[in-house]
Amino acid sequence: MKKIIVFISMLLVLVSLTACAPKEAEQVVITFKQNKPEIDDALQAYAKAYEAATGVKVNAVSCGGGSCTLGDMLKADYAAGEMPDIFPIDGPDSYKQWEAIIADLSGEDWVDETSVEYVVDGKVVGFPVAVEGWGMAYNADLLAKAGIDPKTLTNYAAYMDAFVKLDGMKAELGIDSVVSMTAGPGMYWVTAHHNFNSLLSNGLEYNDLTVANNILAGNIDDTRLNEYADWVDLLFKYADKTVLTTGNYDSQVGAFLNQKAVFLHQGNWVDGNLTDATFKMAFAPHGSSTSDTDGIFVSAPAWYVVNKDSKNYQAALDFLNALVYSDLGQKYMVEDAGMIPAFGNISLQPKGQLSQSVQAWTAEGKVYSWNQYLFAGEFRDNVLGPIYDQLAQGAVTADEFKALLKTALMEAK
Amino acid sequence: MNDKTKTKTSSISKDKKIEKLVFWLFLAPALFSFLMVQIIPFMIGIYYSFTNWSATAQISIDFVGMKNYFDAFQDPSFLYATIITSIYTFMNIILVNIIAFSLALLVTSNLKGKNIYRAGFFLPNIIGGIILGYIWQFIFNQFVPKLAAAVGFTYLSENLMLGNSNTAILALVIVSTWQYAGYIMMIYVAALQNVPKDLLEAAQIDGASAWQRFRNVTIPLVAPAFTVTLFLTLVNSFKQFDVNASLTNGGPSTMFMGKAIKGTTLLAMNINDTSIISLNTAQAQAKAIVFFLVLVTFSLIQVYVSKKREVEL
């Protein structure tokens, strides 16, 4: 009796094992990983539509935000021999990590349609995910009420005057603070990544890296640094202390959405969080200089790269091409995912007010590049971030902040 | 032993052999998984800590000797994390055990509805650390300042607990005590209920006061529980990560050795940062090995010392 039971159970195990094996003819499946969890719904719908149209199954995975770290996921995938066919990189740090398996895409058609592709040594390797921009997002209604013309906000003095005026009208405007800014733990990307870029690129030609390269070479322009540090001090002084020192993304954007702050130090990706907004808004330039800097910071936030060892290499290239050239792909990128397209042949427009503002600045050619990526992520997160945090807490004075910043930059690699 | 059993020795030894085989067969699945998911990865980890392993696409993994260990010890953030973790662990052990033991005394006394209290005190332990961190973030940022303002305690309404690294560490201790005290309490409850009533009565008849009974009968008899709870709190405080990540995220910053540095980054989080932010996976691995050795040393000393205080009935 026992033997029979053992025999039957072994048989069952065998049957269940063979049941797992694929039966039908091999369908082409590409794995696509990306780091914007907010567009996952749109992406999944697009993957289904793409499979219906082309027969290629897209296994799309979103990993990002607070709950998932794409870098970790990719390492695990790599160790398991399941590296995705398409995945994003966000700058030199992640490019170097995967350099050995990233394909050269110089021959692709879409290269001619964009100006923000990722180029290494003359080779195009990255497909721009979208165009993003940040500046000082402002509540146009509140500014109009206070009688301030946003067009004048192009330098430090203009911002200083505007902040003082708005601060004096707090009760009248119903605001808690002038600026919604964060510098606390977990938000170092706002200060040490985005704000820091004002020092490196504000007022310069697009892709002019002289200031950044000079800092890396140990030549710091004291005037520029001091003007920049004053700008940081001004932003912090007129920010709500709770949001500034302990706030997270939600509390920062929430203050702007609920009209508790006139300015928001963020980029156009907040559009998704501001769909309930009842007021008009747009971007104004940063005032990190005493001279006029009439433009905002615009670039591609990440680039899709193709795994050159992929079994479905051609299918992966076709997938990227379809994003640029098919109606389905264009509609997904712009209308469903709400991204600003990085390609000239796409005429669709995103719905978000701030995204439209980024497009308007780009159309006028008033844009400055993102040069902060020349500095390692470790330097920005572990060295610069805590320094901004010290000023935000009021633990150091503006002068001490300047000194700390300078010492750190001298040691920057 | 009589003659009858002697003749049976051969069949007994055969039975023993089968018994042994069955024993190992039953053990095999557990042993196999233990080997695969614990021992082997641990060995690989030790190996990686001596190499330039990056966990990404790299041409070859080269042996670099003790470099990762030397670099780790020269990293001020690692030094700071070690100090702050020790302080945190010390405060946590004391606070968790005092509160847990007091609660245990409370819920083993003749209190009405003590089962409800037991469940209530234990409940926070069931909530995940990440969620707990976010809940308490809200309490510290929104509720505490408003409450402090309402009762006129201006220091707390003007200075946020999470806005300064010293008070943020305190906030971490408060939250982990709130989470962990209920669990430790259960262990004390079990120990207190096992104290024989007759010993307490005998002491009472001999004229011992309530304090003397507690000090000289109850405490020595629950000493084994202290060994366990001190061990658990020590290890758990040392390994703290989830509440750390969600409540303070390693910040706010503080000044250490002339540099601004994240002020509440405990060891586990420092190791995580080394791997995720600094992208230095091999050094993170070396730090993890050091962390393991420190933890083993501390817990062995603690268990040895606590064991000496236990009494056998």
| Residues B110, B44 share a domain | no
| Residues B232, B198 share a domain | yes
Query: Which of B232, B241, B226 is closest to B291 using CA atoms?
Result: B241
| Chain A nearest C-alpha distance from B277 (Å) | 5
3-state secondary structure of B51: strand
Q: Is residue B234 part of a domain?
A: yes
CATH tag, A133-299+367-410: 3.40.190.10
pLDDT of residue B1: 45
Residue of B146, B277, B281, B285 to mutate for A, most A C-beta atoms under 10 A: B277
List CB contacts (< 8 A) between A241 and chain B. 160, 163
| Residues B304, B184 share a domain | yes
Q: Is residue B59 part of a domain?
A: no
Q: Which amino acid is at A7?
A: F
Mean pLDDT, rounded, for B39-55? 92
| Residues B76, B116 share a domain | yes
pLDDT of residue A9: 58
Q: Is residue B13 part of a domain?
A: yes
| Residues B201, B264 share a domain | yes
Dist CA A210 CA A200 (whole Å): 8
Q: Is residue B142 part of a domain?
A: yes
Cβ of B164 under 8 Å from any chain A Cβ? yes
Q: Is residue B222 part of a domain?
A: yes
| Chain B nearest C-alpha distance from A28 (Å) | 25
> Quick one: closest CA in A to B55, which residue?
A75
The span from the first CA to the last CA of chain B, in angstroms, equals 34
Contact state of A78 with B55 under an 8 Å Cβ cutoff: yes
Q: How many domains does chain B have?
A: 2
Q: Pairing relation of β-strands A86-89 and A303-306?
A: antiparallel
Contact state of A246 with B276 under an 8 Å Cβ cutoff: no
pLDDT 10s digits, B262-284: 999 999 999 999 988 888 899 99
| Residues B182, B73 share a domain | yes
| Residues B83, B17 share a domain | no
| Residues B72, B133 share a domain | yes
pLDDT of residue A152: 94
Q: Is residue B61 part of a domain?
A: no
Q: Is residue B19 part of a domain?
A: yes
Strand partners, A126: A118
Which residue in this structure is represented by tokens 């084994």? B224
| Residues B9, B107 share a domain | no
CATH tag, A29-131+300-343: 3.40.190.10
Cβ under 8 Å to B: A residues 18-77 = 69, 71-72, 74-75
Give residue B273's domain range. 67-309
Dist CA A280 CA B227 (whole Å): 64
- pLDDT tops 90 at residue B311: no
Could you tell me where in chain A the CATH 3.40.190.10 domains are found? 29-131+300-343, 133-299+367-410
Contact state of A186 with B252 under an 8 Å Cβ cutoff: no
List CB contacts (< 8 A) between B149 and chain A. none
Task: Tell me, rounded to whole angstroms, the distance of Cα B277 from its chain centroid.
Answer: 25
| Residues B32, B78 share a domain | no
Q: Pairing relation of β-strands A118-120 and A57-62?
A: unpaired
- Give the pLDDT band (50/70/90) at residue B229: very high
- Decide if B188 contacts B104 (C-beta within 8 A): yes
DSSP notation for A235-267: HHHTB-HHHHHH--HHHHHHHHHTTS-SEEEEE
Contacts with A339 (C-beta within 8 Å, 6 or more apart), sequence order: A39, A129, A130, A131, A333, A350, A355
Q: Is residue B164 part of a domain?
A: yes
Instruction: Give this complex's ipTM.
Output: 0.80
Q: Pairing relation of β-strands A296-299 and A367-368?
A: parallel
pLDDT cut 70: percent of chain B above it: 96
Q: What's the mean per-residue pLDDT of chain B?
A: 89
pLDDT tens, N- to C-terminus, chain A (413 residues): 556 655 565 555 555 555 554 445 578 899 999 988 888 899 999 999 999 999 999 999 998 876 678 888 898 899 888 999 999 998 888 898 899 999 999 999 999 988 889 999 989 999 999 999 999 999 999 999 999 999 999 999 999 999 999 999 999 999 999 999 999 888 999 999 999 999 999 999 998 999 999 999 999 999 999 999 999 999 999 999 989 998 888 899 999 999 999 999 999 989 888 988 999 999 999 999 999 999 999 999 999 999 999 999 999 999 999 999 999 999 999 998 889 999 989 888 888 999 999 999 998 889 999 999 889 888 999 999 999 999 999 999 999 999 999 999 998 86
Dist CA A88 CA A105 (whole Å): 14
pLDDT of residue B160: 86
- Kindly report the CATH number assigned to the domain that includes residue B85: 1.10.3720.10
Contact state of A185 with B259 under an 8 Å Cβ cutoff: no
| Residues B132, B218 share a domain | yes
Cβ of B139 under 8 Å from any chain A Cβ? no
Which residue in this structure is represented by tokens 């992640």? A94
